[in-house]
Every structure is written in structure tokens, then in C-alpha cells.
Amino acid sequence: MLNVGVIGCGYWGPNLIRNFDQLTRTSVLRVADLDTKRLDHMKILYPETDTTTDYKDIINDSEIDIVAVATPVHTHFRFASEALSAGKHLFVEKPMTSSIKESVKLINLAEENGRKLMVGHTFLYSAPVRKMKEILDSGELGEIYYINSQRLNLGLFQQDINVIWDLAPHDISIVNYLLDMEPTQVGAVGASHINPAIEDVAILNLRYENNVVAFIQCSWLDPDKVRKMTVVGSKKMMVYDDVQPTEKIRIYDKAVEVPTHYDTYAEFHYSYKYGDILIPKIDGGEPLRTELAHFVDCIENDTVPVSDGYNGLGVVKVLEKSSKVLKKA
């Protein structure tokens, strides 16, 4: 049995506590938060779990094996570095840290102390994204041309990070996972409408090897909740719509067919394929449960998490580069 301490009981922390509590191989020993009302609520739900307003009670507890950090991004490095230095395995919510430099330091700390470091890129453990990866790796879509992703809704406005840092980590992690590589170029455009110091709408454009490009649109100012990703290949196209309760993935047998000869007028006569739509069957439970169970497996079997420190670093690289581009604009 691995004992867990959770730092942060705000938006996401309770989900971590619930899932760690329900796993058969972990026990939530203690949770920390500055808000005593949140702690009181956690105590009602989990009467056997200790609560504290001092996170160091978790860091210094020799009985705790895993520390999970679910606090604002700018605090991640402080809590995470102290946990690793104390010999704890670390689960830190996305994005990993506020900078490339901090992320590299966490990776080094984990390696120096022989501890597992996992970043909470939960979508990498969702059944639809796993199915998308399976389809891409099979070659069914052919050569990948581009990926377009939208993550839009009304709010929730953040005070410490812009819309890219808030929403785009999901999409960046998914695209990097699907393509099994990081972008070679990062571009970004954005605008601030509500808070002049923080962008609330933005578009990332990422260039990968093999002439693959990805566009990621994020917004806190949209009337609809949109969670949609389109992958276009030379043979087929695929759409992942996470808002749909069922049939989240559709594969379209559509493509542009290029003539084999270019020495005649035929080169201008492209043909367009319009085939069937396939909706693959997708099985799977709660992604967060799968993610945390995977983390426990990695600790017990000394294997590398899918969303390890290097995976988290790849996302932070894009975020930091996008911030620099926006500042120059």
C-alpha cells in the first residue's frame, strides 16, 4: 500500500483525492490547503484522512510515499521540488511548471533521488485519445498533413496565467503524443479583452517534422463549449469531439487524390474521394483513474510513465515559447 499526500484541495485536488482513495493500492493519508472550509469538506468525505493548512506536514511525513500537487501553476515548482528532495514520488498537475528551467530542475531532482515524476496530462490516458493514437500508428489515415484543435468556452478566467497556459496544455500534449514528437517551430497570436494584462483568446501554430502543422485555438470568450480536434491525412480524416457523450471519434473516408502524371493538363484535375464514415467502438473508464493506476504501476514496477517529466517538459517548452512570441507582438 502506497500512502499519498495531496497538496491543494481547490478545483482539481478533490478529484485526485477521490481517485487515489478508490484505488486498492493507495491510501490518502493527509491533504493540505490554506482554506479551512475546503479541508472541513474533505474531512466529511474522508474522515480517516488527516487535514492540515501546512503543506510541510505532508513533505516531512516519513509515512507518505507519493505527493500530488494540485495548486496554481506558479507554486508547482516549490511544492514539487521539496517533495522530490524529501524522497517522495511526485504527481504534479499540468502544466508541470511555469518555465523550462524549473521543469528541467524537477527532472534532475527526480533522477538524482530515484523517484518517479509524473505530470497530469490526463487526456493521454483517455480511451478516445488512445484510440486516435492506435489509428494513426496503424497508418490508416496515411501521411499526416495537419491537425486542427479547438478548446473554447465562456471562462473560466484566470488571474495568474493566460488562456494558452490554461487550456492549451491539453491539446499540446495530445498532438505531441499522437505525432510522437515535439514541434520544431512555435508561433502564436492572441488578444486581451477583459483583463488587459492577460490574453483571453489565442491561436498557436506549431510546425513539426515531415511538413506537419498543428493549429490550436483557445478562448475564454466563446458562447459554446468546444473540444474538437481534426486530424487530416493523405488517405482519410479523423475528428475527435470530446463534447459528444457518445461517438466521440469519426473517421471520414475522404481525401484529395493527386494525378500520377504531371506533364499534361491532367495535373489540374484533382479528384476528391467521398467515402463512408466509420465510428469506432471505444471502451474505457475514467481517464484520471487510469492515469493514477498507471502511476502506481510505474512506481511498483520501476517503469517510465507515459506522461513523465520529459513529456511535461515538451509541453512547457511550447508554452514558454508562445509567451515570448506574444510579448514581441
pLDDT at 195: 96
Percent of the chain's residues with pLDDT above 70:
97
State the chain's mean pLDDT as an integer.
96
What is the rounded average pLDDT of the residues 278-293? 94
Write out pLDDT tens, residues 69-119.
Answer: 999 999 999 999 999 999 999 999 999 999 999 999 999 999 999 999 999
Backbone angles phi, psi at 94, to 5 degrees: -80, 155
Buried b (16+ CB within 10 A) or exposed e, 48-84: ebbbbeebebbbebeebbbbbbbbebebbbebbbbbb
pLDDT at 268 over 70: no
pLDDT of residue 263: 57
Q: Which of 21-30, 59-68, 209-218, 277-286 has the lowest mean pLDDT?
A: 277-286
pLDDT of residue 272: 85
What is residue 257's predicted lDDT score, i.e. its pLDDT? 83
DSSP H helices in the chain: 13-22, 36-45, 56-59, 76-85, 100-113, 127-138, 163-179, 287-301, 309-328
Q: Which of 153, 161, 162 is nearest to 200 (CA)?
A: 162
Domains of the chain, start order: 2-115 (3.40.50.720), 124-287+318-328 (3.30.360.10)
- What is the DSSP annotation of 31-64? EE-S-HHHHHHHHHH-TTSEEES-THHHHT-TT-
Q: What is the mean pLDDT of residues 111-138?
A: 98
Q: What gap in Å lies between CA 211 and CA 145, rounded to an integer? A: 7
Which is more confident, 232 or 327? 232
Tally of helices (H runs) and strands (E runs) in the chain: 9, 14
Contact 32, 7 (CB under 8 A): yes
Banded pLDDT at 266 (limits 50, 70, 90): low
pTM of the model: 0.95
pLDDT-derived band at 267, boundaries 50, 70, 90: low
pLDDT at 232: 99
pLDDT digits (tens, 9 = 90+) for 226-249: 999 999 999 999 999 999 999 999
